[in-house]
Amino acid sequence: MPLNLFDTLSRTSRVIAPLDGKTLRFYCCGPTVYGPAHIGNFRTFVAQDVFRRVIEQGGLTTLHVRNLTDVDDKTIRDSQKAGQTLTDFTQHWTTKFHADCAALNLLPPHVEPSAVAHIPHQIRMIEKLIEGGHAYATPDGSVYFKVSSFADYGRLSHLEDRELKLGASSTASATDSDEYTKDSLADFALWKGKKADDGPNHWPSPWGDGRPGWHLECSAMSLEYLGEDFDVHGGGVDLIFPHHENEIAQSCCATHGKFAHHWFHVTHLLVDGGKMSKSLGNLYTLEQLGERGYTPVEVRYVLISGHYRTPLSFTLHSLDSARQALQKLAKFDKALREVTSLSGVISGTTPGPFAGAWETLSDDLNVPGALGDIFGIINKTKPASLTPDEAKVTLEGFHFLLYALGLQLPSLVEEATADVPADIAELAEKRWQAKQSKDWATADVLRKELEAAGWIIKDNKDGYQVLRK
């Protein structure tokens, strides 16, 4: 079943099919490694991961490139604040980012290029742009892209009348000291001449020492690894303008290609009714949620539980809800395994009874709809009444979908009772004895004590279990 995906440029859903007929090539704007990524950032990366998984489950191969922005205003500023070299500083946050990605079960990109490592590529691209009359150097050693030289500028964002909104921005101003040398306020930097507060962070270029402009990094790296034309380019909606608009301009003017043929943008995660962002101080990281007892798979579940083009409200309650939902999935898995006697990793190759969910997922990555379909099948299926063969087909179809969603089932709560402290075990035993002698009052008091300590008792006919609450 081919995947239909909404394309920001044409504003329509289009079938995803590789330009070269074999490999789906896509580029994702990666993180700026100057601090911990928050779960809003990860909403985008998780959505891209589901996209890739669905493509691959559909039988296509992919070439997934996601960059690391390890040189820009913020990395330079904060590395100096931290008293570290830019390399040490960005390496630290890159390691952290990778750990979070692994925890969230994100498939690693096939190529993860570093911006710093591709400065020569960026310089070559700037040279081409200058040759073609699309860029110009200024006396301070910077190079700017000449927006007026690209007629299609604004097609992606539909912000075509640049002059109109210049007055509306609170930050843009014709007197910005950084930008006074530009021909037009709309022009953007390809290369930034060295400034005193950049410290040692500058590189040689034909226009003097300096550093690359942010937008150019992605153009240069996608060209290097994916070519002049490639299938899909993705990122958060906030990148549509100016970042992606500028990438299009640079790339189309520097090459003969059309750049990305399909644009995949993920809407923001909301918290407290608004955007989660570092500057607003309302962000959650995976680590912070972990301290509150939430697991990465629960976070992943929440992040995919809303359609990628719809704002999603994040709350701690949604994580609790996700925990219960995952338990329900895990119970279904266990019940099926008992009928089939299968264990270990199940790798389904077809959706089986979950074909409806797979179809839903293939329609613009409708994950919440697919989850609804999956639970619908689960509610109708009685594992115990299936033959081993039927259960096997169901289990494989179930795992086909779980893989596409990247959900790794948690262990069941009732199985997670490895270590019961001695004092708790003693209390539990006392309660059991009280119960055996039908001293209900004492038994109930003891049970309440255990509960207060964070443990619950589950009785059955001939014994009991002590479980973590």
Q: Which stretch binds RNA (CB under 7 A): 115-123, 236-244, 254-262, 419-427?
A: 236-244
Beta bridge partners of 456: 467
Shortest spacing between CB 256 and RNA, in angstroms: 25
* Minimum CB distance to RNA smaller for 23 or for 464: 464
376 contacts RNA (rule: CB under 7 A): yes
Shortest spacing between CB 249 and RNA, in angstroms: 11
Shortest spacing between CB 350 and RNA, in angstroms: 22
Q: Is residue 76 within a helix (H) or strand (E), and if so which, with residue range?
A: helix 73-81
d(CA 236, CA 344): 36
* Token output for 68: 């690391």
Q: Peptide bond preceding 242: is omega within 30 degrees of 0, i.e. cis?
A: yes
The correct pick among 166, 355, 409, 424 for binding RNA (CB under 7 A) is: 166
For the CA atoms of 414, 417, 423, 425, what is the dihedral angle to 10 degrees? 50
> Among residues 328, 398, 329, 386, which one has the least CA distance to residue 357?
398
The correct pick among 368, 390, 424, 449 for binding RNA (CB under 7 A) is: 368
The correct pick among 12, 171, 343, 437 for binding RNA (CB under 7 A) is: 171
The correct pick among 116, 226, 253, 270 for binding RNA (CB under 7 A) is: 270
* Token output for 242: 């100016």
4 contacts RNA (rule: CB under 7 A): no
Contact 186, 144 (CB under 8 A): no
The correct pick among 50, 86, 123, 240 for binding RNA (CB under 7 A) is: 240
Look up tokens 């709560």; give the residue.
413
Hey, which residues between 90 and 129 contact RNA (CB under 7 A)? none
Range list of H helices, 210-366: 214-226, 245-254, 286-291, 296-304, 316-340, 355-362
Hey, which residues between 27 and 56 contact RNA (CB under 7 A)? 29, 31-32, 40-41, 43-44
79 contacts RNA (rule: CB under 7 A): no
Hey, which residues between 408 and 467 contact RNA (CB under 7 A)? 414, 435, 440, 443-444, 447, 456-460
* Minimum CB distance to RNA smaller for 72 or for 100: 72
Number of chain positions touching RNA (CB under 7 A): 96
Q: Residue 440 half-sphere exposure, CB side, CA atoms within 13 Å?
A: 0
> Among residues 414, 103, 386, which one has the least CA distance to residue 398?
386
* Minimum CB distance to RNA smaller for 19 or for 325: 325
Shortest spacing between CB 220 and RNA, in angstroms: 14
Hey, which residues between 195 and 224 contact RNA (CB under 7 A)? 213-215
Hey, which residues between 288 and 347 contact RNA (CB under 7 A)? 305-307, 309-313, 315, 317-318, 320-322, 324-325, 327-328, 331
135 contacts RNA (rule: CB under 7 A): no
Q: If DSSP codes are grouped into helix, strand and coil, which group holds residue 286?
A: helix
Contact 263, 244 (CB under 8 A): yes
